[in-house]
Amino acid sequence: MNAVGDRFLCICADDFGMSEGINAAVLDLVARAAICAASCMVLRGAWATGAADLREIDATAADIGLHLDLNRAPSDSPAEPALRGLIAASYLGLLRPDMIRAQIREQLARFEDAMGRSPAFVDGHRHVHQLPVVREALVEEMAARYGIAAPWIRSTAPAAVRSFPRTKADVVFALGGRRLRALAAERGITTSRALLGVYGFDGGAEAYRHRLQQWITACRSGDVLLCHPSLGDAAPVAHDAARRHEYAVLRTLAFPMKTDAGTVLLRPLSRQPSSDSEART
């Protein structure tokens, strides 16, 4: 029985499948019960081998989802291409809905083939799932494919939504998060509450530790705290140093965690009471 005032937090590691170092960090953190969700890139080179390890994880212990990847570099280059072109094309109406939906369909199928089940949730690499055209195609494909059993969608809403963006988290949400939530609600698809963990990949391990404590203290049930841990790779991926710092800090987490605002428990979003999240339907 959970005490009154306890809060549930879902901590989700992004980019599983991007590299072996990321895969190893995510699997270790799940085993340590320091995170309870992983978002997977099914088009990347380390996905095929990593998926076999993910299948061994108890589905009640971690939500395993699809990290929709629409703007990747060729040949698994460690460099991530600029997102400006995709954002501009989405807002100018230059993306073809049929092609975007086909890419979404392909990635959902790759996930299902590798895992033997549907994803627990869907989000987007660098939050592309909320962009115009993409969000409509995503919601329609999920509703058609899964019906009332549709996976939850990760919202990009910051903890405090403001009229004018002031932080990176505000800017991310302003690119389409509000409309994505509305579309999901129209089709009866669950969304998470606030998205925590967004920062500029700056600072060292102690700076990240301080941020992490602030996010955990401020969380509400239904929130998702994203992270990008890695053990490092011979050919470093984007933000390699920040990823290694994140892993070093995350591996020290232990739940339940007492904070100034009460006790926080780690739990996959799909295992949380639906009444705990204002965004969930």
**Residue 92 has which token pair?**
């100018």
User: Is the predicted pLDDT of residue 75 greater than 70, yes or no?
Assistant: no
Mean pLDDT of the chain: 93
Dihedral angle computed from the Cα positions of residues 244, 245, 246 and 250, in that order, rounded to the nearest 10 degrees:
100
pLDDT per position as a tens digit, 221-268: 999 999 999 999 988 899 999 999 999 999 999 999 999 999 999 999
Cα–Cα nearest to 127, from 85, 104, 99, 155: 155
Specify the fold of 7-276.
TIM Barrel (3.20.20)
CA distance 271 to 221: 11
Among 159, 164, 150, 268, residue whose Cα is nearest residue 217: 159
CA–CA separation, 235 and 233 (whole Å): 5
Q: Is the pLDDT of residue 216 over 50?
A: yes
Residue in 124, 117, 114, 122 with CA at minimum distance from that of residue 48: 114
**pLDDT over 80 at 199, yes or no:** yes
pLDDT computed for residue 72 by the predictor = 73
pLDDT score of 5:
73
